[in-house]
Structure 1
Amino acid sequence: MAEENSLTKYLSFPVNREGWLFIALFAVVAWVLGQIWGLLGWLGFFATLWSVWFFRDPERVAPARDGVVVSPADGVVKTVETAAPPAELGLGDKPRVRITLLRTLLNVHVNRVPVEGKVVKTVEVAGSFADASRPAAAAENERLGLVVAAAAGNRPVAVVQVAGPVVRHLSNDLVEGQPVKAGQRAGISRLSLDPVKDLIKKFKGEAATATNEEKASFSLGHLVTRVDVYLPEGVAATVAAGQSIIAGETVLAELA
Structure 2
Amino acid sequence: MRMTDTFIKPMHPEGRKFVAIFAVITLVLFAIEDVLGWIGVGLTVWCYYFFRDPERVTPDAPGLVISPADGVVSLIEPAVPPRELGLPEEALTRVSVFMSVFNCHVNRAPVAGKVEKIAYKPGKFLNASLDKASEDNERNSLVIRMEDDRILTVTQIAGLVARRIVSFTQEGAVLDRGERFGLIRFGSRLDIYLPEGVEPSVKIGQTMIAGETVIADLSK
Deviates more, 1:19-28 or 1:224-233: 224-233
| Residue-by-residue CA offset, 1:149-203 (whole Å, 9 max, x unaligned) | 122x211111111111311210111111111110000011114xxxxxxxxxxxx
- Say which SS state the counterpart of residue 187 (structure 1) adopts: strand
Tell me how far apart the structure 1 counterparts of residues 134 and 87 of structure 2 sit (CA, whole Å): 15
- Say which SS state the counterpart of residue 42 (structure 1) adopts: helix
Q: Which residues in structure 2 correspond to 1:57-136 (within 5 Å)?
A: 57-136=53-132
1:251 aligns with 2:214: yes
- Say which SS state the counterpart of residue 15 (structure 2) adopts: helix
Unaligned 5+ runs, structure 1:
192-223
Structure 2 residue aligned with 1:56, among 39, 52, 55?
Answer: 52
Shift, 1:12, TM fit: 2.9
Structure 2 residue aligned with 1:190, among 185, 191, 198?
Answer: 185
Equivalent residues of 1:67, 1:116 under 8 A apart:
no
1:238 aligns with 2:201: yes
TM-score by length of 2: 0.96
Are residues 7 and 154 of structure 1, via their aligned partners in 2, closer, same or farther at CA, if it must alter by over 3 Å?
A: farther
Which 4+ residue blocks in structure 1 deviate beyond 3 angstroms?
none
Shift, 1:16, TM fit: 0.6
Other-structure match for 1:197: none
Q: Name the larger-Rg structure.
A: 1
| Residue-by-residue CA offset, 1:87-142 (whole Å, 9 max, x unaligned) | 11222111110001101111000000110111101111011112222211111110
Unaligned 5+ runs, structure 2:
none
TM-score by length of 1: 0.83
Q: Which residues in structure 2 correspond to 1:148-163 (within 5 Å)?
A: 148-151=144-147, 153-163=148-158
Higher helix share: 1
Q: Which residues in structure 2 correspond to 1:6-45 (within 5 Å)?
A: 7-45=3-41
Tell me how large the CA RMSD over aligned residues is.
1.2
Tell me how far apart the structure 2 counterparts of residues 75 and 93 of structure 1 sit (CA, whole Å): 28
